[in-house]
Amino acid sequence: MKTTVFTLALCLAVSTATLAQSASFFNNPIQLNGYPLDYSNFTLLSRGVMTLVDPGGSSEKGKQVPFRVYLRRKGVVITEGGMSDKTEYRNVPIHQILSKALPGDELVIDPLYRNDRINRQVITLRMFSWLLFRGVRGDGC
């Protein structure tokens, strides 16, 4: 019984990791450094250039679309440091936005022109990812 439960848990963990790695822009329009955003590893310490891609674009990689990105804390848009929910981007260095964020804030990515393929995305930010420790070998120290 214990072996069956352990085997099932292991299979689920491996299949979830495989699905996360094989995600394409068809099911994740947010890209970080040209690759689909991995939500499981996205934290306040993440760095890179964020873009929003319309999978219905003519090219193989999709078409970049303009978007707004801003922080929300307890339902209120954060406007400190010149941030605004009115600024339009095609790509943005994400550290500019995350430098004002605290754990629990929401990162809102809002396409300027909504369609059936791209909708508003809201990501609750956390300080670090427990998945970073999944590759620890030995006694874990």
98 within some domain: yes
CATH code: domain of residue 91: 2.60.40
> pLDDT, tens digit, for every residue of 36-76?
999 888 889 899 999 998 876 555 667 888 999 999 999 99
- Predicted TM-score of the model (pTM): 0.67
CA–CA separation, 102 vs 46, rounded Å?
A: 13
Closest C-alpha to 88, from 118, 102, 68 = 68
4 within some domain: no
Contacts of 123 (CB under 8 A, 6+ apart): 39, 42, 106, 107, 109
Do 62 and 53 touch, CB atoms closer than 8 A?
yes
* Lowest-confidence segment of 5-19, 33-47, 98-112 by average pLDDT: 5-19
Number of structural domains in the chain: 1
2 within some domain: no
Q: Could you list the residue range(s) of the whole structural domain that residue 71 is in? A: 24-131
Dihedral (CA of 126, 132, 136, 141) sign: negative
6 within some domain: no
14 within some domain: no
